[in-house]
Amino acid sequence: MRPALQLLVGAALVGSAIWLVWPENEAPSEAGTADATVSTRAAVAGRPWLDAWPPDTKAAPADEAPLPAAQSLAQTRVYGDPEAPPIALDVPARVRPTAEELADPKAYQAFEARQNAQVMAAYVKAVDEELPRLRDDIARGRSMGIAADKIAKAEDKARGLENMRAQLLKDHPALGK
């Protein structure tokens, strides 16, 4: 039985070798697969049939990305994107209380009052700067035919800003200076 097995394996190897080197244009085709064979042959014309498997993929691997794009990404990571908006405004560092203010409750209350006054003054200043822009936007929206409910919502916001500003100035007259 052993010589028969060796003969079978040898025949299989010889048959496989012949099959691999058999020219593609002489391969027998069946009637049912003629269209598929012709389209496959046209796709791999001039190449050995083994090159057709695995099928070509359309997307290039990530490691073959164009070099300029990779360089651009690396530069963006190092130096930042000049077209990106700033993440945060340049805000001055918050003033910390001194050791004396932390030790004395009345001095600390005065420190907190100064901080609150600065916040309220910043609010009044922001309203003074942004309210005219908001009113211009409302007028532009009316002229463009924006829906009345959206215009009313923007007007309510403008009135709310005005009312808050007026209340702050009434409660803290020093803010208006």
Q: Is residue 160 part of a domain?
A: yes
pLDDT in tens, 53-95: 666 666 656 666 566 888 888 888 888 887 887 777 677 778 8
Q: Is residue 61 part of a domain?
A: no
What is the percentage of the chain residues whose pLDDT exceeds 70? 73
User: Could you tell me if 152 and 162 are in contact, meaning their C-beta atoms sit under 8 angstroms apart?
Assistant: no
C-alpha distances (whole Å) from 157 to each of 105, 124, 153, 164, 171 are 39, 15, 6, 11, 21
Q: Is residue 94 part of a domain?
A: no
pLDDT number for residue 21: 77
Q: Is residue 163 part of a domain?
A: yes
Q: How far, in Å, CA of 117 to CA of 175, rounded?
A: 8
Structure tokens given for 91: 């805000």
Helix (H, G, I), strand (E, B) or coil at 57: coil
Q: Is residue 169 part of a domain?
A: yes
Q: Is residue 134 part of a domain?
A: yes
User: Could you tell me if 129 and 136 are in contact, meaning their C-beta atoms sit under 8 angstroms apart?
Assistant: no
What's the pTM?
A: 0.46
**What range does the domain containing 149 cover?**
116-176
pLDDT in tens, 11-40: 888 888 787 777 765 545 554 444 444 445
Given a cut of 90, whether residue 159 has pLDDT beyond it is: yes
Q: How far, in Å, CA of 170 to CA of 163, rounded?
A: 10
Mean pLDDT of 95-114: 92
Given a cut of 70, whether residue 172 has pLDDT beyond it is: yes
pLDDT number for residue 3: 82
Looking at the 3D structure of the chain, how many domains does it have? 1
Q: Is residue 129 part of a domain?
A: yes
Q: Is residue 52 part of a domain?
A: no
Q: In whole numbers, what is the pLDDT of the chain averaged over residues?
A: 79
